C-alpha cells in the first residue's frame, strides 16, 4: 500500500459493495502530548490507545538539531498542516514544531544522519514555496497498527529553519466479537464466481464435509484482519470471487457466508446470521489457502498474491 501526499484525510469506506463498511473513529490531527505506556499495558490496550502511545514514542525519537528550540505552535503562516496524511479516520497525528539554525536542507540532512536506525527513510518531497520534507517509517504491528510514520518538514522563516515533526500512526479497528464463523458450522460449500471477463466453464460448487477441513477454513477467516478504512484506488474489479457458505448440515440454512474478492482491492465480505460484518483483508490469499485445504485445482481462482491497492488522498 503506497502513501501519496495530501493535506487532508478522506473518511471514506473502501469496497462498499464487496466488503461493507465498518465502524470508523474520529481522526486526531495536530495533537501535541506525551503519552507513555509500559509494554504489558500496551499489549492489552485498545488499538487506538496503542496508536496514541506509539505516536508519542515515535515523536520522542526525533533527533533535536544542535541549537534548536521547541515552539509552542506553528509560526505565523507556515507549517500549519502536514505535507501528507494517511487516508483513514483511524489516525493519530502527534506533532511538534522547532526552530533551528542553518538552511532547511542542512537541517534535513542532519536529521537523516541522527535519527534512530529503526526509522527507515521511505520518501521525500518538496514544494515550489520552499517547503521540503522527509518521511521515515517503522514496520506495522500486524493486526493492530497499520502504519507508523515520522514526517519531518522544513522551511525557511526569519533567517532560520522552522521544522514541523509529525508522528502519524494508523490503527486497525478491533474486529467485533460477532465476526466469527459460528462453531455450529459443520459443512462449507465453495462456489466459484466468474468475473465479467470470464472464459471457459465455471467450476461447479463443491461441499466439504470433513470437520477438520471446515474448522481450518473457518479459522483462516476468523484470523483475517479488518480491511483498513480509507479511500483506495484499486485495480479493475471484474467481480471474480470465491464464496464459502457455512452450514450446520448440507441442506440447512447458511450460518455465515464469506466472499473473497480476487480482483479490485481483494477484500473479503462476511455475513454472519445474515448480518453484514466489517470488511476483511486479503481475498486472494484466503482463496488460495481454501482451495488448497479442499484439494481443488480451479484455474483462475487461486491467485498468487494480493492486488496492489493504493491508498489515496484528495
Domain segments of the chain: what residues? 28-171, 187-311
Task: Give the pLDDT confidence score for residue 62 in this predicted structure.
Answer: 95
Tell me the C-alpha distance between 271 and 5, whole Å. 35
Task: Give the pLDDT confidence score for residue 244 in this predicted structure.
Answer: 97
* Residue 275 main-chain phi, psi, to 5 deg: -95, 130
Contacts of 28 by beta carbon, 8 Å cutoff, 6+ apart = 52, 91, 92, 93
Q: Select from 163, 133, 143, 166 the least CA-distant residue to 61.
A: 166
Q: Select from 232, 309, 59 the least CA-distant residue to 51.
A: 59
Neighbouring-strand partners of residue 132: 126, 154
**pTM of this prediction?**
0.60
pLDDT one-digit tens code per residue, 156-189? 987 889 999 999 999 888 788 889 999 999 999 9
Q: What is the mean pLDDT of the chain?
A: 81
pLDDT one-digit tens code per residue, 14-48? 332 333 332 222 233 333 333 233 344 444 578 88
Task: Give the pLDDT confidence score for residue 68 in this predicted structure.
Answer: 94
Amino acid at each position: 500500500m503506497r502513501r501519496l501526499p495530501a493535506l487532508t484525510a478522506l473518511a471514506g469506506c473502501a469496497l462498499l459493495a464487496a466488503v461493507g463498511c465498518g465502524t470508523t473513529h474520529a481522526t486526531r490531527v495536530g495533537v501535541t502530548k506525551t503519552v507513555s505506556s509500559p509494554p504489558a499495558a500496551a499489549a492489552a490496550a485498545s488499538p487506538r490507545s496503542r496508536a496514541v502511545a506509539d505516536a508519542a514514542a515515535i515523536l520522542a525519537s526525533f533527533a533535536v538539531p544542535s541549537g534548536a528550540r521547541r515552539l509552542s505552535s506553528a509560526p505565523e503562516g507556515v507549517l500549519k498542516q502536514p505535507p501528507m496524511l494517511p487516508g483513514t479516520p483511524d489516525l493519530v497525528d502527534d506533532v511538534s514544531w522547532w526552530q533551528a539554525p542553518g538552511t532547511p536542507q542542512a537541517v534535513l540532512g542532519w536529521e537523516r544522519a541522527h535519527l534512530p536506525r529503526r526509522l527507515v527513510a521511505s520518501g521525500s518531497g518538496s514544494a515550489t514555496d520552499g517547503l521540503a520534507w522527509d518521511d521515515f517509517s517503522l514496520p506495522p504491528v500486524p493486526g493492530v497498527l497499520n502504519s507508523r510514520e515520522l514526517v519531518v518538514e522544513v522551511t525557511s522563516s526569519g533567517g532560520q529553519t522552522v521544522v514541523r515533526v509529525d508522528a502519524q500512526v494508523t490503527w486497525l479497528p478491533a474486529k467485533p466479537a460477532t465476526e466469527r464463523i459460528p462453531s455450529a458450522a459443520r459443512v462449507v460449500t465453495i462456489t466459484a464466481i466468474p468475473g465479467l471477463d470470464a472464459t471457459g466453464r465455471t467450476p461447479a460448487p463443491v461441499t466439504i464435509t470433513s470437520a477438520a477441513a471446515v474448522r481450518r477454513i473457518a479459522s483462516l477467516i476468523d484470523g483475517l484482519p479488518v480491511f483498513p478504512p480509507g479511500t483506495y484506488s484499486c485495480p479493475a474489479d471484474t467481480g471474480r470471487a470465491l464464496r464459502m457458505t457455512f452450514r450446520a448440515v448440507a441442506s440447512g440454512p447458511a450460518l455465515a457466508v464469506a466472499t473473497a474478492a480476487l480482483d479490485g482491492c481483494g477484500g473479503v465480505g462476511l455475513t454472519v446470521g445474515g448480518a453484514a460484518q466489517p470488511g476483511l483483508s486479503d481475498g486472494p490469499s484466503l482463496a488460495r489457502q481454501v482451495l488448497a485445504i479442499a484439494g481443488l485445482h480451479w484455474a483462475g481462482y487461486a491467485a498468487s498474491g494480493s492486488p496492489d491497492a493504493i491508498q489515496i488522498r484528495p
